[in-house]
């Protein structure tokens, strides 16, 4: 089992004098992507318990980005967009089974990231970079969809969420991969998650894998891209024993404290190796905090609702950029950004041409990072196949509003907006406002509480700009083939590559392809 002492040991034994640090003149890239972590979960964003000293220090040494968004309020589509630089409606990570429904990649999903999408590590590989993903992939679990088939050179983590434990008869436990082969399964042996105590060493595994990769690349002087996608803050939450009981916020807070420790270890490694000025690091989250977890989840600060919704709490992410010697420390940028911008920004900094045969929704933030220049751009908030809202400048217009279904709310007690009741907004049926959008000024009203009246001069001046942005977007929209429509138990993780060597292959049931059901 990996422990804190092993992480420290790996650092202490490493001899920095043997390193080569030129990386062929190229910049290294790291994305520290949290899972279901809300905008209000960091001390620097106002969390009153101040339990994230390393993330807060990262902001003090770097650039704070309070107007940063995911491309979707749910994990799989958001991650597909980060790596492709394209909205889910373009890269296929949506469903048409029911309008406006969120969909992701449970282990019975038949689809995954299409070969037609050119992912960031594929382009970086062509220019001498080595890439590694650590943690949750979530872009399809069948062999053709796994990370090593889409540009990554190394993989340590899982293709799906760490749900379970399962009985391995009706549902298999999720495999943990070491590169192309499974190394075990969640809830079995060294990859256990104790639901009673919340104890698991997974985050420590992820920290060690990240540090080992950085050290190995530094030894070789080979540029790298590290995608560190730890998932301890996604239910069921977990933390290793030294962190359990440390937070005033319970198990979720324990997980945050350990992730904060991991961020600190990774940044300290870059400094220790003398490569911090060669490495651009972004910290963010895949979507907003899951408020339906009630007191067992995160915080979206002052924003409305959370994960699964296209209100600000569902898609506004806690984001920090860190690049010592390049980014002026202690600054705040009002640039409206997106996880999709990592794609175009990294390519721009690396001097790699972006694909010309497709629309990219990300923009390059290079000028903003180095010179604090701002780029005016719209943000499109999609839920499934439905364009729900648009932000232009400081204004946001809702074309559709919906929290979640009345059936879920009344019969199952599922509420994506607990304690937040706003007429025409946090509703339990989809409401169409395309003829007269609901307009809000996010600079003054970040909680989306006070609708700008349609007969006001402000509304009449702003709405034409937003409608023009929507018109241009839809006129040039070429939808990708939907990947999240069909499910089949036969494609679950019964017999992943490498299972035979471990004695962990399971019998595959007969195929039974059917439409997936997406309630949200």
Task: Please spell the DSSP secondary structure of 7-56, one letter per residue.
Answer: HHHHHHT--GGG----GGGPPEEEEEEESS--GGGSGGGT-TT---HHHH
What one-character DSSP code corresponds to residue 482? Answer: P
The answer to whether the CB of 341 falls within 8 A of the CB of 31 is: no
Does the annotation mark 516 as catalytic? Answer: no
CA dist 395 and 425 (Å) reads 16
Closest CA to 7 of 176, 211, 170: 211
Q: How many CB atoms lie within 10 A of CB 79?
A: 30
Q: Is the whole model's pTM more than 0.85, yes or no?
A: yes
User: Residue 32: beta bridge partners?
Assistant: 228, 283
Helices (H), 316-452: 341-350, 366-371, 406-407
Residue 24 confidence (pLDDT): 86
Contacts of 359 (CB under 8 A, 6+ apart): 86, 90, 476, 478
Q: Which of 12, 75, 473, 487 is catalytic?
A: 75
Q: Which of 294, 331, 332, 289 is nearest to 314 (CA)?
A: 289
Catalytic residue chosen out of the listed positions 12, 127, 138, 505: 138
Q: What is the pLDDT along the chain (520 residues), one digit of tens a residue?
A: 444 444 444 444 444 444 556 788 999 999 999 999 999 999 999 999 999 999 999 999 999 999 999 999 999 999 999 999 999 999 999 999 999 999 999 999 999 999 999 999 999 999 999 999 999 999 999 999 999 999 999 999 999 999 999 999 999 999 999 999 999 999 999 999 999 999 999 999 999 999 999 999 999 999 999 999 999 999 999 999 999 999 999 999 999 999 999 999 999 999 999 999 999 999 999 999 999 988 899 999 999 999 999 999 999 999 999 999 999 999 999 999 999 999 999 999 999 999 999 999 999 999 999 999 999 999 999 999 999 999 999 999 999 999 998 889 988 999 999 999 999 999 999 999 999 999 999 999 999 999 999 999 999 999 999 999 999 999 999 999 999 999 999 999 999 999 999 999 999 999 999 999 999 9
- 410: tokens are 């009344």
Distance CA 74, CA 498 (A): 30
Q: Is 234 a catalytic residue?
A: no
Cα separation values, 317 from 55, 130, 259, 306, Å: 14, 27, 16, 11
pLDDT, position 20: 52
């Amino acid at each position: 089992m990996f422990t804190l002492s092993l992480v420290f040991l790996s650092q202490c034994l490493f001899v920095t004098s043997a390193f080569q640090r030129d990386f062929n003149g190229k910049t290294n890239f790291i994305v520290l992507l949290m899972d279901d972590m809300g905008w209000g979960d960091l001390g620097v964003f106002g969390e009153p318990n101040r339990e994230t000293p390393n993330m807060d220090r990262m902001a003090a040494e770097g650039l704070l980005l309070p107007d940063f968004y995911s491309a979707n309020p749910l994990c799989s589509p958001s991650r597909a967009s980060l790596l492709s630089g394209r909205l889910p409606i373009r890269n296929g990570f949506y469903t048409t089974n029911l309008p406006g429904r969120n969909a992701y990649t449970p282990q019975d999903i038949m689809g995954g990231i299409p070969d037609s999408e050119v992912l960031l590590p594929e382009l970086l590989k062509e220019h001498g970079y080595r890439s590694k993903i650590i943690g949750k992939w979530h872009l399809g679990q069948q062999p053709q969809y796994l990370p090593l088939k889409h540009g990554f050179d190394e993989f340590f983590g899982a293709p799906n969420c760490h749900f379970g434990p399962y009985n391995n008869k009706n549902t298999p436990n999720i495999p943990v991969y070491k590169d192309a082969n499974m190394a075990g399964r969640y809830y079995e042996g060294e990859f256990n998650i104790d639901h009673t105590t919340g104890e698991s060493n997974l985050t420590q595994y992820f920290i060690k894998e990240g540090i080992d990769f950085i050290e190995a690349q530094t030894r070789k002087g080979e540029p790298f891209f590290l995608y560190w996608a730890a998932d301890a803050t996604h239910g069921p939450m977990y933390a290793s024993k030294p962190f359990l009981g440390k937070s005033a916020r319970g198990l979720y807070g324990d997980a945050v404290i350990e992730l904060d420790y991991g961020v600190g270890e990774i940044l300290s490694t870059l400094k220790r190796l003398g490569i911090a000025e060669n490495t651009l690091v972004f910290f963010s989250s895949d979507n907003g905090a899951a408020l339906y977890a009630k007191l067992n989840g995160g915080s979206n600060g002052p924003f409305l609702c959370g994960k699964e919704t296209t209100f600000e709490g569902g898609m506004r992410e806690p984001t920090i950029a860190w690049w010592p010697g390049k980014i002026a420390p202690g600054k705040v940028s009002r640039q409206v950004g997106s996880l999709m911008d990592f794609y175009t920004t990294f390519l721009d900094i690396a001097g790699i041409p972006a694909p010309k045969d497709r629309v990219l929704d990300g923009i390059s933030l290079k000028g903003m990072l180095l010179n604090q220049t701002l780029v005016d751009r719209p943000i499109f908030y999609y839920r499934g196949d439905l364009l729900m809202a648009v932000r232009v400048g400081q204004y946001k217009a809702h074309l559709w509003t919906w929290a979640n279904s009345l059936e879920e709310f009344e019969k199952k007690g599922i509420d994506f907006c607990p304690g937040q009741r706003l007429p025409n907004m946090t509703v339990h049926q989809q409401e169409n406002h395309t003829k007269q959008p609901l307009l809000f000024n996010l600079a003054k009203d970040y909680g989306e509480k006070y609708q700008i009246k349609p007969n006001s001069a402000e509304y009449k001046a702003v709405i034409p700009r937003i409608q023009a942005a929507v018109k241009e977007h839809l006129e040039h929209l070429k939808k990708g083939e939907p990947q999240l429509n069909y499910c089949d138990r036969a494609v679950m993780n019964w017999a992943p590559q490498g299972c035979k060597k471990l004695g962990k292959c399971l019998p595959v049931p007969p195929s039974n392809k059917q439409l997936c059901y997406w309630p949200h």
